[in-house]
């Protein structure tokens, strides 16, 4: 998986691949320091992510493993919201309460 940050939404009315009703979000990839890598993707959201959330992105055929994306044209799916990233006992990221 990759780390990403949700930065926007995509509206698309004419679409194929059983994507109707699915939320498509613009996500920028982050590196391990949560710095923007200047790469972006349009991802199906399965965890009700919001703008600014740090998320886990799953690509390739594994993007279709969730109930919501099964048999859809999903090639990159938001499969988790990141609460924290740590190295040993040191936290490099912690989601604020109420976020």
Residues of this chain that bind a copy of itself (CB under 8 A)? 1-3, 7-19, 24, 26, 28, 31-32, 38-44, 46-48, 51, 56, 58-68, 71-77, 79-88, 92
Cα 34 from Cα 2, distance rounded (Å): 11
> Quick one: 77 or 98, whose CB is closer to a copy of itself?
77
Residue 5 Cβ vs a copy of itself, minimum distance, rounded to whole Å: 11
The answer to whether the CB of 57 falls within 8 A of the CB of 79 is yes
Residue 6 Cβ vs a copy of itself, minimum distance, rounded to whole Å: 9
> Using CB atoms within 10 A of its CB, is residue 45 exposed (0-12), middle (13-18) or buried (19+)?
buried
């Amino acid at each position: 998986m990759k780390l990403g940050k949700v930065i926007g939404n995509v509206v698309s009315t004419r679409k194929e691949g059983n994507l109707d009703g699915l939320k498509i979000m613009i996500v920028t990839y982050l590196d391990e320091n949560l710095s923007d890598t200047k790469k972006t993707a349009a991802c199906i959201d399965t965890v009700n992510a919001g703008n600014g959330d740090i998320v886990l992105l799953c690509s390739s055929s594994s993007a279709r493993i969730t109930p919501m994306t099964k048999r859809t044209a999903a090639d990159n799916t938001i499969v988790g919201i990141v609460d924290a990233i740590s190295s040993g006992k040191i936290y490099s990221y912690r989601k604020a309460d109420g976020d």
